[in-house]
Structure 1
Amino acid sequence: MGKELIFKTLRHEETNEIPWVPFAGVHAGKLKGYTAEEILKDSDKLAESLIEVKKLYTPDGMPVLFDLQVEAEILGCDLLWAKDNPPSVKSHPFADTNELPCKCKIPTEESGRLPIILDAMRRVKAEIGEDVALYGLICGPFTLASHLRGSNIFMDMMKNADYVKELVGFCAEVSCKMAEMYIDAGMDVIAVVDPLVSQISPRHIEKMLSDAFKAVFDFIRAKGSYSCFFVCGNATNQIEVMCKMGPDGISVDENVDLVKAKEITDRYNISIGGNIPLTTTMLHGTQEDNMKIVIDLMDSLTHRNLVISPGCDMPYDTPIENTIAASQAVKHPEKARKLLENYQSKVDDIDVTLPDYEHLDKVLIELFLLDPDQCAACTYMLNSVVDAFDEIKDIADYAVYKYTIKEDIARTRKMGIPNLPTMCVNGEIKWVSIIPDREEFISEVRKYAK
């Protein structure tokens, strides 16, 4: 049974198979013809879509929803809704104050969209919960703190560490309450999803964030449930400090070399999951591409403490046949190998022209992002430019490239961008998976002004 396979993996036991966990967040709605907004606001449509995920993709484990803005909305953030992405945060209620949120704001079962979410969780648990491990995803304390404070939090980390620690501590209390409600609604695994951890140095994590995260993982364990720590972006340097926080599992995206990361997680006896590329393979690739990446992952890694999954929340328009192909490769690897005997990879030969950086009238800031509407780390890197732009608009322009668009993928390759998100200035790579503070960013741009 798939559920027990997940449990054994998170208990770090030997298994005969590798578990498969498709992160079909808003993509679940696509399966039944619903928009992202519809399934995130309607328990009937959400539950119906999740049952279809189970039917088509034969998961061992699956998330009930992938929306990191649920808590932020409850705490006063305004959201911008989309048809093919989870909502994004468009206002930060604590951007202009160093106060802390009131304890009375900690969510209850009646808060925000929680009645819809908890209802769907209970219904899906009753329908498929005997066979599939259900994941309740909560927004991690640091990303939630950034939703409340905005991009100012990166300056706070340099100038007001005590405030950051207090704010993240409050957000950890919110995380614990969310975990409790999700566990009570039948969730087997609580995934703490915190994309922005990859943007912070291990030293700053240990100084300001670790205590809060440890408290959340300890709470989940005390409730008798399993935990996973999801981090997007290039979390290579953060893997060890993440292990020290005590989750049962870690999940990473395509920016991370899974072989090297697993060497670290194995030392701490923590499971690791990942990391089928979301756009180049799942969205734009073929069935064979998806099978090949799964087989390559399985062949390059020891199977104990391993989960195969997409690198993060699957794009809404991911072809159904691609996800089925990935599923079949996990479940039937020998058949997949047979089908791949004559496999040849194909790269779209899209010609893109780079700017003539030496002869530009203004400094050009280029942002290479996965998707600023879906990836929190991408959103905050973009916001770091937008928030400071009035101060430099006379000397600079900026351009945004999305890794969901084929032409932008080609541009990213031609530029030699190693990881996403990345920011360049006049064609030079300046910040890779790191969000600069306002002063550092403006100072660097001014160096290039004519």
Structure 2
Amino acid sequence: MSKELLFKTLRGEETERAPWVPFSGVHSGALIGADATQVLTDEDVLVKSLLEVNKLYKPDGQPVVFDLQLEAEILGCDLVWAKDGPPSVASHPLAETMSVPCDCKIPTEESGRMPLVLSAMRRMKAEVGDTTALYGLITGPFTLASHLRGNDIFMDMYDDEDYVHDLLAFCVKVANKMSDMMIEAGMDIIAVVDPLVSQISAAHFEEFFHGSFAAVFENINAKAYSSFFVCGDATRNIEVMCKTKPHSISVDENVDIVAAKAITDQYNVVIGGNIPLTTVMLHGTQQDNMKCVVDMIGRVDSKKLFIVAPGCDMPYAVPVENTIAVAQAVLDTENVAKMVENYESATFDVDAVVLPEYDKLTKPFVEVFTLDSLTCAACTYMKGAADVAKETYGDKIDMVEYKFTEKENIARCIKMEVKNLPSIYINGQLKFASIIPSKEELEAAINAVL
């Protein structure tokens, strides 16, 4: 059974091939003609779309719900819903008050959308649980704290350490309750998804977050398998993540998978990833997807401590044939490798991109490069920092967001040699890469060119 292949990998055993886990998220709805909001609010639509994923993509494991706003919604955050992506957090209940919610706020099986989610999990367990490992996804303590507090959480780490620790302690309680409910509903693997981990230093992680994540994984590991899911350039934090003792880590295209696996192997931790979401899965061809997977499998020891997966939640509009191509490359690597042996991609027209004459600008031009600030939590807070600067400076600066989900913006990133998302450039110069600046830091960078 394919789920046993994944379990063997998570136990550190050698396997005949790497397991395949499509993080299909709201993309699953596209397979049955349902939009993202329907997938995340209608149980029957959700289950129907997940079964279609299971049938078409032949996964060894798959997530049931990919929505990092479940807990935030329960705890009082307002959400902005979208047709082609998960909702985003629009308000932060603790933005104006440095308090910590009481334990009575911790989610129960009746909170928010939990009845829908847990019922869908039980139904999927009954339908495919004998053959497919099922993932339950929870929001990590840092990202949940950020949803509650907003961008001020980054300054709080300097100004009020005790408050940060108290807020994280509450978020750990939420995470543990969410994990317990999902495990009871039949989930084999709990993925702790925390995109903002990539936005801090290893020193800050060890000071503020090691204990929180270690506590969450200790709770999960006693009952199920675990995964630590991070987005963005988490390179500097791979080792400290391993030290929190998850069974596996999932990373995106910002991370060099070969270098990262060299670290995770030392801790006997599985690493999963990291098929590029937009350049390959969304805008590439079938051959691009096959070539990417074959090359990645060829660069790592893929038969031990490795999972093939998208770098993060797949975009809604990924062509079905591209994901089927990925599955084929995983399941029949040798033959697919022969098919794409001499293939070279020519997907993006870099020459069509016209860059500003930065040295002739009359005022600072702030460019925010994101995956998509509406769907990527780290990008949301990076864009939020730029929005605050725009409110402060008004017409004295220009500001624009380039979303990596758009083909012309991918070409722009290639031409400008943008290495990491999210990033902020000012007058064409990189100022902040995968580190969300404080209000003071961003203003200092802007003032330097005013």
Category of TM-score, reference length = shorter chain:
over 0.9
Question: Does 1:20 find its partner at 2:29?
Answer: no
Q: Structure 2: how far apart are the matches of 1:136 and 1:31?
A: 21
Matched, 1:200 2:200: yes
Q: How far did 1:158 drift?
A: 1.6
Counterpart amino acid of residue 406 in structure 1: K
User: Which deviates more from structure 2 when the two are superposed, residues 80-89 or residues 382-391?
Assistant: 382-391
1:408-439 deviation line (CA, Å, top 9, x unaligned): 11111111111111100111100000000111
CA distance in 2, matches of 1:343, 1:394: 48
Cα deviation for residue 133 of structure 1 reads 0.3
- Amino acid corresponding to residue 397 of structure 2 in structure 1: A
Deviations 1:282-309 (A, max 9, x none): 0000111101110111110012100000
Q: Distance in 1 between matches of 2:67 and 2:202?
A: 26
Aligned with 2:367: secondary structure? strand
**Deviation for aligned residue 1:390:** 2.1
**Where do 1:429-440 residues align within 5 Å?**
429-440=430-441
**1:311 maps onto 2:311 in alignment:** yes
**Aligned residue number for residue 256 of structure 1:** 255
Which residue in 2 is equivalent to 1:231? 230
TM-score normalised per structure 2: 0.98
User: Any gaps of 5 or more consecutive residues in structure 2?
Assistant: none
User: TM-score w.r.t. structure 1 length?
Assistant: 0.98
Q: Secondary structure at the match of 1:273?
A: strand
8 A contact 1:229–1:249 mirrored in 2: yes
Alignment-mate amino acid for residue 291 of structure 2: K
Deviations 1:383-407 (A, max 9, x none): 0111232222242110100111111
SS at match of 1:388: helix
Shift of 1:349: 1.7
The aligned residue for residue 120 of structure 2 is 120
**Structure 1 position 244, deviation (Å):** 0.4
Separation (CA, whole Å) in 1 of partners of 2:341 and 2:365: 46
Question: Contact (CA 8 Å) 1:392, 1:442: kept in 2 or not?
Answer: no
RMSD of the alignment, in Å? 0.8
* Partner SS state of residue 435, structure 1: coil
CA contact (8 A) 1:422 1:433 kept: yes
Partner of 1:276: 275
Corresponding position of 1:378: 379
Give yes or no for contact 2:348–2:410 (8 Å, CA) kept in 1. Answer: no
> How do residues 106-117 of structure 1 correspond to structure 2 at under 5 angstroms?
106-117=106-117
The equivalent residue for 1:5 is 5
Structure 1 residue identity aligned to 2:80: L
Show the counterpart of 1:56: 56
Shift of 1:342: 3.4
Give the Cα separation in 2 of the matches to 1:19 and 1:86: 26
3-state DSSP class of the match of 2:138? strand
Deviations 1:227-250 (CA, angstroms, capped at 9, x unpaired): 000000000000000000110000
CA offsets 1:117-158 (integer angstroms, 9 cap, x no match): 011100011000110000000000000000000001111112
In structure 1, what is the Cα distance between the partners aligned to 2:98 and 2:340? 57
CA distance in 2, matches of 1:352, 1:167: 45
Distance 1:56 1:347 in 2: 25
What whole-Å deviation, never above 9, does each CA across 1:194-226 have from its counterpart, x for those lacking one? 00000010101111111110000000012x200
Q: Which structure 1 residue ranges, 4+ long, deviate > 3 Å from structure 2?
A: none
Determine if contact 1:419/1:432 at 8 Å carries over to the other structure: yes
1:165-203 deviations in Å (ceiling 9; x for gaps): 111111011000000000000000000000000001010
Residue 107 of structure 2 corresponds to residue 73 of structure 1: no
- 1:287 aligns with 286
Distance 1:284 1:264 in 2: 31
SS of aligned partner of 1:148: helix
Report the count of equivalent residues: 448
Amino acid at match of 1:402: K
Q: For the residues of structure 2 that align with 1:42 and 1:36, how far apart are their CA atoms?
A: 10
Counterpart position of 1:164: 164
Aligned counterpart, 1:38 = 38
Q: Which amino acid aligns with 1:7?
A: F
Partners of 2:71 and 2:105 in 1: CA distance: 10
Q: Which amino acid aligns with 2:422?
A: P
SS of 1:208 mapped into structure 2: helix
